[in-house]
Amino acid sequence: MDNSIEERELTPEELLQRKEEMYTFYTESLKYLQAQLDYEETLAKIDEARFKRLTIQMQHAMMMNPPEDMDQNQDEVKEAFKEELTKERKLKKN
């Protein structure tokens, strides 16, 4: 059984008919494609707004609750600095 399509030259009338069919198909499909484009653009805008909101919430949370180790390190540095200031300096003897 041969499944090949027979290739032949189209007459000018058949070619014109095919062109009209293609034109009709594409013009009728445009309204669906436009609706899909609007839908996808709206989804993208929603995702973008969610991302911005989440980013702002994360920044706010980080400002309100800085990492604990950062506070501890600052306290340790302050203590070490105070110790250095209060240390009594000794002169070297030769």
The answer to the question of residue 7 being in a domain is no
pTM for the full model? Answer: 0.49
Boundaries of domain holding 56: 12-85
pLDDT tens-digit series, residues 3-47: 556 678 888 899 999 999 999 999 999 999 999 999 999 999 999
pLDDT tens-digit series, residues 43-82: 999 999 999 999 999 999 888 887 666 656 677 777 877 7
The answer to the question of residue 91 being in a domain is no
Tokens at 86, concatenated: 């209060």
The answer to the question of residue 23 being in a domain is yes
The answer to the question of residue 39 being in a domain is yes
